[in-house]
């Protein structure tokens, strides 16, 4: 038999495109259209409905960037259409290839009832099924003219990313606005032919099943009268009945389809537009749930649910009903789908606290899965946090974006730094916008790496980012793929149902230990420095506010600001979303973020100041309030008192130029270039800086990645580097970091269009050199690093992460190690040889790299260089990224053990606060073991007045510690992160207010102390 597959396939494509799909709407009449353009920001629904529109014609331009236009469409259903299905086709000027990245609309009835969203792949509104004929049609469309920022030629700089620079040029051309007859039989034929045609293309060329499909499709096309598609569609469908009814083989891969619409809480649009994107999508999905009895939709991010509740109560009512029916499923249990690399320990915990509590309070639903399909890699501390929140599963898809190495599993146990394991799934469909195409389903089955041991995978199905979610076409395709020979099977299921099945069939999956590093998007650790600084400082201000407000509440009756802290935490958590904190959103988002962080800082400082004054009382004593988890200046952690005085030092001239800073513990030489050429640990008799090297060296690289400008830094950036060694001035300065008598040297430099000032300070009694760097940054497509070449031989180093630290190699033996050429740390990086180490701590940076070389000339020592990433200057999506003044603080700590690194990291991020008062303040709680770090002291969220203390082992070893309360304790309970008792936890040993705990390495514990 001759092979005519390609002939039939080509015939199918043309007949579908030119005859059958157009016949879905065989008759149409135009609607009348009028429009009112809101003059500024979006207006309330009632105002938009009441506005008086003016005339507009199809083909007219409309919509200034970021504008809102209210269209009113009116018409009459022709009498001849009575008894037929009628739909309105409302095309605002969509490009079908860009769902979620352009204009969108939400359709309302005149009484304000939302109907559904309008999107490029979802332009219809059902009018009648059947229509009565003669009925009047009046619909209102709240249309957002969001500009296309990421266009067909991506990553081109654009001013469209901020309403202040976007201009007023209309963005769209109004297209089809019609009433039309919907021929469901023809539409069903389209679905039949698409599913079979797509499946046919995926089957082996020599398989009998493929030829069965070819012949069936050929018969169906023969049965269609191209001049009367509607009249012959049923006959054509009959030719396909047998092949559609053939069941899948017993060994077929099984796909759990989850209705999904991944909506970035901000990205190429501002936060306010996400509120509307969510309303459009939830309107769509509740409407689809009413039409499709098997369909299940899952939505993550409690913040987005909260937006619907607050801003669209009429949509919220429909959502609540669908949730009660088990069809609209809260997923993930986090406030937002956050970045997980950069949020601090408490912030990562609070993502789950606030997310899970929202779903519990609103629906009584306990989420057991973390749902993070798009997050840019996962910190190694996350498994323990997921478990501590009462969850046990994780879903992600983003690891498929890795550029160097292919991840070896799709279902596995992920083990974190403390040994906690989380059952994790990484969908082999390789997209979180699955559309049920045959190519996607076949790829999932072929790609699944756990064949022979497991058969289940998950497919998040629907258009995201305002694309409208799952479509009726996707549901129709899934119905045909439920049990179809040659294909994986597909069934709509909630995430919980998938995970229960997957875990049951795969009781001993492989284990992946340590971080899930994404080999892409590494520059998100540096882009938009002020957003990252705002996050770091907000996290620490929240710690201070909770600590001092709780202490004052217990000691003085100070009113604990539950509502304010709850609101502020949620704002900080929102800004940890994986396109805000990583710096990959448009200019508008980051402009607002900077203002939000400034407002938060003001509010939290008011709380802190009021609580500290309530504790200190009226008096004239100068009291140091120590918010750090370790003692400082003789003041205990969490207490206040008079700090020990220290004797000042002054810079001494250095032979050959420059200065020497010497406090008896550390002797630092700064040469005439303003560079640290020696940092000598006096007690250890050990030099820190590598021979011939200079610490505190600023290095400038070109930075033009192949794509994803704000997201990526490609390894070839290292091929070209400029050392910024020329100094305009190097001079002795006044008191250093705290004004406490320290010696400092001020260095100024100029490069390109930018200037930098560095102040290098050494305080009495401290074994740390503090480097304050101020950069007035006006470079473009450049990458600024701060280098520390260390005289150390270390095969690995430690980076702080949530509730501990993770080790990474300093070598590049394998492609996995080589791919980690830019990585994340929190407050410190630590390197060590046996008996001696060095820490580099920071107050607001995350990205860094560590490399090593062996010196020649007979020395053969190893230079291990740590470089902190300070600033970048990508032009997309924000063409002005990081332009302006930035301030950073880092410290070089020679002779540091891991405990010193932990302590100095906290100290640098929690500066001293001095208050004039009457008396010292004893800590609310104390811990007698330096390795046990308290990350939170607060009052319980339920308003009971109980004190909640969270702590962890921070050095990576076992610890036994006593926690002592500075108040009378009636009871102590071990709880989860949501402050609920842990059923399987033994009560801690207690004598009065003294609790003894034993911790394994990096173990996290939350205690709830009920006051007598």
CA distance 318 to 313: 9
* Count of residues making up the chain: 1012
CA distance 54 to 37: 9
Residue with tokens 């070598």: 811
For residue 267, CA distances in Å to 165, 271, 304, 376, 402 come to 17, 8, 14, 14, 21
Number of Cβ atoms within 10 Å of the Cβ of 50: 12
Q: Is the Cα dihedral 338, 608, 890, 593 positive or negative? A: positive
Which parts of 327-469 fold into alpha helices (H)? Answer: 345-363, 382-388, 438-447
Contacts of 537 (CB under 8 A, 6+ apart): 597, 601, 844
3 state DSSP class of 10 = helix
Which parts of 575-649 fold into alpha helices (H)? Answer: 587-616
For residue 49, CA distances in Å to 70, 114, 139, 140, 316 come to 8, 12, 10, 7, 19
CA distance 638 to 302: 33
Look at residues 295, 277, 273 and name the one whose alpha carbon lies nearest to residue 286.
Answer: 295
CA distance 592 to 164: 12
CB 348 within 8 A of CB 333: no
The radius of gyration of the chain from alpha carbons, rounded to an integer in Å, stands at: 31
Please tell me which residue in 91, 162, 374, 703 is annotated as part of the active site: 374
DSSP state of 996: E
Paired strand residues for 889: 772
CB 406 within 8 A of CB 435: no
For residue 338, CA distances in Å to 332, 382, 550, 827 come to 11, 12, 28, 19
Dump the DSSP string for 254-308: EEEEEE-----SSSSS-HHHHHHHHHHHHHHHHHHHHH-TT--EEE--HHHHHHH
CA distance 442 to 455: 14
CA distance 567 to 341: 23
Question: How are beta strands 297-299 and 67-76 bridged, if at all?
Answer: unpaired
3 state DSSP class of 9 = helix
Contacts of 880 (CB under 8 A, 6+ apart): 587
CB 720 within 8 A of CB 742: no
Residue with tokens 């390495």: 1001
Contacts of 743 (CB under 8 A, 6+ apart): 648, 649, 650, 651, 661, 663, 732, 736, 761, 762
CB 186 within 8 A of CB 229: yes
CB 526 within 8 A of CB 872: yes
Residue 857 annotated as catalytic: no
Look at residues 73, 138, 57, 71 and name the one whose alpha carbon lies nearest to residue 105.
Answer: 71
| Helix or strand run (H / E) with residue 13 | helix 5-15
Which residues are catalytic, by number?
A: 374
């Amino acid at each position: 038999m001759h092979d005519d597959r390609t002939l039939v396939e080509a015939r199918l494509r043309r007949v579908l495109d030119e005859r059958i799909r157009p016949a879905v709407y065989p008759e149409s009449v135009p609607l009348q259209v009028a429009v009112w353009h809101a003059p500024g920001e979006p207006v309330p629904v009632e105002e938009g409905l009441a506005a008086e529109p003016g005339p507009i014609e199809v083909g007219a331009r409309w919509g200034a960037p970021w504008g809102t236009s209210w269209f009113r469409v009116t018409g009459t259903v022709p009498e001849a259409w009575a008894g037929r299905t009628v739909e309105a086709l409302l095309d605002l000027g969509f490009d079908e290839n860009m769902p979620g990245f352009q204009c969108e609309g939400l359709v309302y009835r005149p009484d304000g009832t939302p109907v559904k969203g309008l999107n490029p792949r979802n332009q219809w509104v059902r009018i009648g099924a059947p229509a009565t004929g003669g009925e009047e049609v009046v619909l209102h469309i709240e249309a957002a003219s969001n500009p296309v920022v990421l266009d067909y030629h991506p990553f081109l700089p654009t001013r469209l990313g901020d309403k202040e620079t976007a201009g007023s040029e209309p963005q769209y051309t109004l297209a089809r606005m019609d009433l039309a007859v919907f021929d469901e039989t023809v539409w069903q034929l389209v679905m039949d032919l698409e599913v079979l045609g797509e499946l046919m293309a995926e089957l082996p060329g020599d398989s009998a099943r493929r030829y069965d499909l070819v012949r069936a499709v050929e018969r169906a096309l023969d049965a269609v009268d191209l001049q009367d598609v509607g009249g012959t569609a049923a006959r054509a469908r009959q030719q396909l009945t047998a092949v559609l009814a053939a069941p899948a083989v017993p060994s077929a891969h099984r796909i759990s389809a989850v209705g999904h619409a991944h909506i970035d809480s901000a990205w190429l649009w501002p936060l306010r537009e996400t509120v509307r994107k969510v309303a459009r999508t939830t309107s769509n999905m509740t409407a689809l749930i009413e039409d499709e009895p098997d369909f299940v939709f899952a939505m993550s991010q409690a913040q987005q649910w909260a937006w619907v509740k607050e801003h669209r109560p009429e949509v919220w009512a429909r959502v609540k009903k669908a949730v009660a029916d088990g069809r609209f499923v809260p997923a993930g249990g986090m406030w937002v789908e956050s970045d997980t690399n950069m949020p601090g320990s408490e912030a990562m915990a609070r993502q789950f606290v606030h997310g899970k509590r929202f779903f519990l309070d609103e629906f009584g639903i306990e989420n057991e899965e973390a749902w993070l399909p798009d997050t840019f890699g996962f910190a190694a501390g996350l498994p323990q946090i997921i478990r501590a929140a009462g969850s046990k599963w994780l879903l992600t898809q983003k690891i498929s974006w890795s550029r160097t190495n292919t991840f070896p599993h799709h279902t596995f146990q992920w083990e974190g730094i403390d040994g906690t394991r989380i059952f994790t799934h990484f969908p082999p469909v390789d997209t979180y916008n699955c559309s049920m195409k045959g190519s996607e389903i076949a790829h999932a089955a072929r790609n699944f790496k756990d064949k022979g041991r497991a058969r289940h995978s998950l497919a998040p199905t629907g258009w995201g980012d305002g694309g409208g979610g799952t479509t009726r076409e996707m549901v129709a395709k899934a119905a045909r793929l439920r049990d179809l020979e040659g294909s994986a099977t597909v069934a709509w299921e909630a995430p919980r149902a998938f995970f229960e099945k997957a875990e049951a069939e795969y009781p001993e999956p492989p284990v992946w230990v340590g971080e899930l590093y994404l080999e892409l998007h590494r520059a998100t650790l540096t882009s938009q420095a002020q957003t990252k600084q705002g996050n770091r400082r907000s996290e620490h201000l929240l710690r201070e506010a909770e600590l001092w407000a709780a202490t004052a509440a217990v000691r003085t009756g100070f009113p604990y600001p539950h509502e304010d802290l709850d609101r502020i935490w949620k704002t900080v958590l929102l800004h940890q979303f994986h396109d805000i904190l990583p710096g990959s959103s448009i200019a508008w988002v980051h402009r607002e973020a900077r203002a939000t962080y400034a407002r938060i800082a003001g509010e939290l400082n008011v709380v802190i100041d009021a609580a500290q004054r309530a504790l200190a009382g009226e008096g004239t004593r100068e009291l140091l309030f120590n918010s750090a988890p370790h003692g400082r200046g003789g003041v205990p952690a969490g207490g206040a008192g008079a700090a020990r005085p220290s004797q000042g030092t002054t810079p001494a001239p250095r032979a050959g130029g420059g200065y020497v800073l010497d406090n008896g513990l550390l002797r630092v030489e700064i040469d005439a270039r303003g560079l640290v050429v020696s940092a000598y640990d006096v007690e250890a008799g050990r030099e820190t800086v590598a021979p011939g090297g200079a610490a505190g060296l600023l290095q400038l690289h070109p930075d033009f990645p192949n794509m994803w400008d704000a997201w990526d830094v490609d390894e070839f950036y290292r091929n070209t580097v400029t050392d910024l060694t020329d100094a305009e001035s190097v001079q002795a300065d006044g008191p250093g970091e705290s004004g406490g008598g320290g010696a400092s040297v001020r260095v100024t430099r100029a490069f390109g269009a930018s200037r930098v000032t560095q102040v290098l300070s050494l305080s009495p009694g401290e074994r740390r050199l503090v480097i304050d760097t101020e950069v007035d940054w006006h470079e473009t497509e450049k990458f600024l690093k701060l280098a520390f070449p260390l005289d150390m031989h270390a095969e690995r180093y430690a980076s702080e992460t949530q509730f501990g630290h993770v080790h990474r190699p300093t070598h590049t033996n394998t492609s996995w190690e080589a791919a980690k050429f830019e990585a994340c740390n929190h407050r410190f990086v630590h390197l060590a040889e046996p008996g001696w180490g060095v820490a580099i701590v920071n107050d607001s940076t995350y990205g860094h790299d560590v490399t090593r070389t062996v010196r020649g000339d007979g020395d053969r020592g190893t230079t291990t260089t740590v470089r902190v990433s300070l600033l970048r200057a990508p032009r997309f999506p924000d063409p002005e990224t990081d332009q302006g003044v930035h301030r950073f603080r880092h410290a070089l700590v020679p002779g540091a053990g891991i405990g010193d690194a932990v302590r100095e990291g906290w100290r640098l991020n929690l500066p001293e606060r001095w208050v004039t008062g009457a008396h010292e303040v004893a800590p609310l709680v104390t811990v007698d073991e330096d390795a046990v770090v308290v990350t939170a002291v607060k009052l319980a969220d339920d308003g009971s007045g109980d004190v909640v203390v969270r702590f962890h082992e921070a050095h990576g070893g076992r610890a036994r510690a006593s926690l002592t309360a500075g108040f009378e304790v009636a009871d102590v309970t071990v709880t989860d992160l949501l402050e609920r008792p842990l059923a399987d936890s033994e009560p801690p040993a207690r004598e009065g207010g003294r609790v003894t705990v034993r911790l394994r390495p990096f173990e996290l514990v939350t205690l709830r102390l009920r006051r007598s």
